[in-house]
Structure 1
């Protein structure tokens, strides 16, 4: 069975880590699959939203400890650095993804699995989801972009707490910190994720892309720069066929093409 799966349906690309017997721990096959999938998505403008999830009631337990242990004595610092730089290609593809990314988290999201979830624009989690910056427990520093993303999601002090302690977060605490958007029953996670992804896919691809790019840059930009971005790109968004159709629908008192799905029957 392949360790990584992707399918595209209705404008939504679903990427699934598929090593449930190893808690979807990352290996070479998953790395190659993720990189190939993200490169394909980048070129396929028919894909309007992306889902990242794991098989077998697990999101991702992080790096494969067996591989780490096998290399612990033979690896040089230079070899480890170069290997991680190779993985950074995937990190950058996730960071630069200009389509909405939804993470569906069931079970553990540890180490690199947590890091990957932090790149999602929305995180849906089950009550049994668990998040952990486990690196401190094995004497490593956080990687896969977490030193960049986590402080931006939860704030600097909370990032220090989670990274220095290596403590585990349940779904509810993760939601309170802003890591999780919705907590969903286990048997409804797939359906709710599909609802959210399809709604995002039905929005203006031009506006969604430019909004995401702007938000990702906003914390390193000043107000004048962001106002200029707004002025320049609003004109592009307003000139799109999607915006023109949406305005006409409003004038004709027709329902909008984009509607967010109600969550009350799904959320806990």
Structure 2
């Protein structure tokens, strides 16, 4: 297994495992982690001996979304943000359209881009501690990493709008009811259950698996077009005063300017 600081990557017995590995920051995505995810996804696509993929996080959390401090100090203009999100969309597209099963094993937080990353998987396992949120609006941003494509396909358009516009956090049982989570597993059994499921595909027909995924995958360039629109929208949002205000408030440990009113 590679022991890089941000991502652990290993291939054993036909199963590739990608572990987000910045537990001190709840595995928040930064440029280093994104670059290593690109390398891992490309390695999997080249290696036809890989029959299934496990995507998980170290230290009790899946992924807390983008690293706000890294975003605040990036110093990019609209064109720079657009290029960054277009580059990111390459590996997101490759992961969503991969011709082998991807299993997300989620413990703790899967918020913002962390939720998006979990939704790139075909099957999502989660512990009772798992929490999910399309939290982008809390920092004046729009969903990214393919969330505009994946979330409505999983939960329906109206519920996707509600989750994106409210930016509220949901627990694992609501996520199960919505179809985001396939199975709830205890924290002690999460990794072993993911590996048992991944191992079952080693003896499955790779052609049949590939055809099933292909027939359920985006047709006519829908995913690519939506990722391009997503990148343009996020680049605009990154340069907005609303985003800067929200990030500064969060970094100063103040309440964000937007909070969804809880149901009475």
TM-score, length-normalised on structure 2? Answer: 0.80
Report the Cα distance in structure 2 between the residues aligned to 1:4 and 1:177, rounded to whole angstroms.
Answer: 29
Partner residue of 1:58 out of 58, 61, 68? 61
* Corresponding residue of 2:148: 147
Question: 1:31·1:90 contact (CA, 8 Å) conserved in 2?
Answer: no
Report the Cα distance in structure 1 between the residues aligned to 2:172 and 2:16, rounded to whole angstroms.
Answer: 25
Report the Cα distance in structure 2 between the residues aligned to 1:94 and 1:144, rounded to whole angstroms.
Answer: 10
Q: Deviation per CA, 1:86-144, whole angstroms, max 9, x where unpaired? A: 11111111122110000000000011110011111100000000000010101101111
The yes-or-no answer on 1:212 pairing with 2:213 is yes
* Cα RMSD for the two superposed structures: 1.6
The yes-or-no answer on 1:126 pairing with 2:127 is yes
**Which gives a bigger RCO, structure 1 or 2 (Cα 8 Å, sep 6+)?**
2
Poorly superposed stretches of 4+, deviation over 4 Å: 218-221
Give the gaps of 5 or more residues in structure 2. 223-264
- 3-state SS in 2 of match to 1:216: coil
* Corresponding residue of 1:80: 81
Question: 1:49·1:197 contact (CA, 8 Å) conserved in 2?
Answer: yes
Q: Deviation per CA, 1:55-81, whole angstroms, max 9, x where unpaired? A: 00110001111111223xx43222211
Q: CA deviation at 1:220?
A: 9.0
- 3-state SS in 2 of match to 1:109: strand
Structure with higher Rg: it is 1
Question: 1:125·1:184 contact (CA, 8 Å) conserved in 2?
Answer: yes
Question: 1:98·1:213 contact (CA, 8 Å) conserved in 2?
Answer: yes
* Corresponding residue of 2:185: 184
- 3-state SS in 2 of match to 1:213: helix
Q: Deviation per CA, 1:143-184, whole angstroms, max 9, x where unpaired? A: 111011110010000000100000001110000000000000
* Corresponding residue of 1:251: none
* Corresponding residue of 1:23: 26
Q: CA deviation at 1:201?
A: 2.6
- 3-state SS in 2 of match to 1:124: strand
Structure 1 residues 85-100: aligned runs within 5 Å: 85-100=86-101
Q: Deviation per CA, 1:192-249, whole angstroms, max 9, x where unpaired? A: 111111112321111001110111147999xxxxxxxxxxxxxxxxxxxxxxxxxxxx
Structure 1 residues 1-268: aligned runs within 5 Å: 2-71=5-74, 74-217=75-218
Report the Cα distance in structure 1 between the residues aligned to 2:92 and 2:221, rounded to whole angstroms.
Answer: 19
Report the Cα distance in structure 1 between the residues aligned to 2:221 and 2:176, rounded to whole angstroms.
Answer: 25
Question: 1:125·1:183 contact (CA, 8 Å) conserved in 2?
Answer: yes
Give the gaps of 5 or more residues in structure 1. 222-268
How many residue pairs match? The answer is: 219
